[in-house]
Amino acid sequence: MTTGEGAAPEVDTDLYRHVVGRLAKGVSVVTTTASGHHHALTADSVTSVSLDPVLLLVCVETDARFHDAVIECGAFGVSVLAADQRATAAWFATPGRPLPGQMDRAPHTLTPSGIPLLDGALSTLECTVRDVHPAGDHSIIVGEVRDARLGGDPKAALVHFRGQYSALP
């Protein structure tokens, strides 16, 4: 079928997961603060968008509690994880973890605007929500970068490939 001719072909979603799982991706924890709680999630869908203005995007499942929290707050942080932060990535990817106290397992520092950023990250960014675009069962949240910082000593990066965490020197 050619593009633009009728309905799109049915794609096997399990096969699709395996196919896109072969895209090696960096792992980040995305954070925000809303209604008196810190919210966080592990993401491998953080992408640079533009240098003028400086923009990045993160894709967030619309059913995730983080989704409404980041829209309410209007700001978010990104902590790019080092390979030694695998347990942190797993924790913030755990469905149903309790909201109160979830940040207690991850050493972090609050920005002046109250957004938690993880200590020991390779780099961190603080963003203001600029646009939200519906995209199937996710939203593409575009953030304007307000602050960007490199972590201390360069370490190996945490990456996600074929459903597994690994290190990339």
* H-helix or E-strand spanning residue 150: strand 138-150
Domain ranges of the chain: 26-44+67-129+145-158
- 14: phi then psi, degrees, rounded to nearest 5: -65, -45
pTM, two decimals, is: 0.92
CATH class of 26-44+67-129+145-158: mainly beta
What pLDDT, on a 0 to 100 scale, did the predictor assign at position 154?
Answer: 81
Write out the chain's pLDDT in tens, 169 residues: 345 566 778 999 999 988 998 888 999 999 999 999 999 999 999 999 999 999 999 999 999 999 999 999 999 999 999 999 999 999 999 999 999 999 999 999 999 999 999 999 999 999 999 999 999 999 999 999 999 999 987 899 999 999 899 998 8
Strand pairing category for 138-150 and 108-110: unpaired
**121 closest CA partner among 90, 165, 163, 153:** 153
80, 29 contact by CB (below 8 A): no
